[in-house]
């Protein structure tokens, strides 16, 4: 599933570059592609006994390769989300919920961001809430719900004025464009959901 995610995120480089060019410096696509290529290499070259080891390794690869705030934030999601996954052998709906809820808490702590700041938190927070609500449903349903919540959250960032990062200097001119980190958050969840659809899990 994570290898599929890497392949998809590398494939979305242009989408993320365009999203970042609209309100930032345009480096988000290349940064995320570099990050998920590093994750791919890390996963292919290692063996992992449990989910927490797997997601921690992925998070470290993002932190050390994406660069800038994005690497820290997305890496913190992957790493911080493992708080309650020690020894977990399967990504089921409760594990997905734990990963998103704990990952969100770690990102908010690390980034000092709150909803409405026009950041990836605006996509991750509704996704975590949706996954928590769907924790008793099958994984593909929980991922579908989290993905749709992330999409709506990402769309809502178009109506927000950036108060963090480089887009902050644009002020009102950031209106009408989604936050690139929120776009990435949506695409990450959509890729995980797509994988469950393709693999029939
Ligand atoms: Mg940028």
Per-residue pLDDT tens digits for 18-52 = 999 998 889 999 999 999 999 999 999 999 999 99
Contacts of 24 (CB under 8 A, 6+ apart): 165, 166, 167, 180
76/119 Cα distance (integer angstroms)? 14
∠150-152-183 over CA atoms, to 5°? 55
Q: Which domain holds residue 141?
A: 2-199
Per-residue pLDDT tens digits for 81-138 = 999 999 999 999 999 999 999 999 999 999 998 899 999 999 999 999 999 999 999 9
Give distance in angstroms: CA of 115 to centre of ligand 1.
20
**What tokens appear for 51 in the block?**
């989910």
Which residues lie near ion ligand 1 (Cβ < 5 Å)?
20, 24-25, 27-28
Give distance in angstroms: CA of 199 to centre of ligand 1.
34
145/174 Cα distance (integer angstroms)? 28
Instruction: Say if CB 80 and CB 126 are below 8 A apart.
Output: no
Give distance in angstroms: CA of 184 to centre of ligand 1.
12
Q: Domain count of the chain?
A: 1
Give distance in angstroms: CA of 114 to centre of ligand 1.
19
Give distance in angstroms: CA of 180 to centre of ligand 1.
8
* Residue 166, pLDDT score: 63
User: Residue 84 sits in a domain of what CATH number?
Assistant: 1.25.40.340
Question: Helix, strand, coil proportions of the chain in percent (round to 5)?
Answer: 75, 0, 25
* Residue 169, pLDDT score: 74
* Residue 51, pLDDT score: 96
Per-residue pLDDT tens digits for 131-176 = 999 999 999 999 999 999 999 999 999 999 887 666 677 777 788 9
């Amino acid at each position: 599933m994570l290898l599929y995610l890497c392949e998809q995120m590398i494939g979305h480089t242009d989408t993320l570059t365009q999203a970042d060019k609209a309100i930032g410096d345009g480096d988000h696509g290349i940064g995320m592609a570099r990050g998920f290529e590093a994750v791919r290499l890390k996963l292919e070259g290692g063996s992992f006994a449990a989910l927490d080891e797997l997601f921690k390794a992925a998070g470290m690869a993002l932190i050390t390769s994406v660069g800038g705030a994005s690497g820290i934030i997305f890496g913190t999601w992957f790493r911080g989300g493992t708080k309650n996954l020690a020894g977990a052998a399967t990504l089921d709906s409760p594990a997905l919920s734990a990963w998103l809820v704990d990952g969100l808490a770690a990102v908010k702590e690390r980034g000092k961001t709150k909803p409405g700041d026009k950041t990836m938190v605006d996509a991750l927070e509704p996704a975590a809430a949706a996954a928590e609500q769907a924790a008793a449903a099958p994984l593909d349903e929980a991922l579908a719900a989290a993905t749709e919540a992330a999409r709506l959250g990402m769309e809502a960032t178009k109506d927000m004025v950036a108060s963090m990062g480089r887009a902050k200097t644009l002020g009102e001119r950031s209106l009408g464009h989604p936050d690139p980190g929120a776009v990435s958050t949506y695409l990450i969840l959509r890729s995980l959901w797509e994988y469950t659809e393709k693999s029939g899990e």
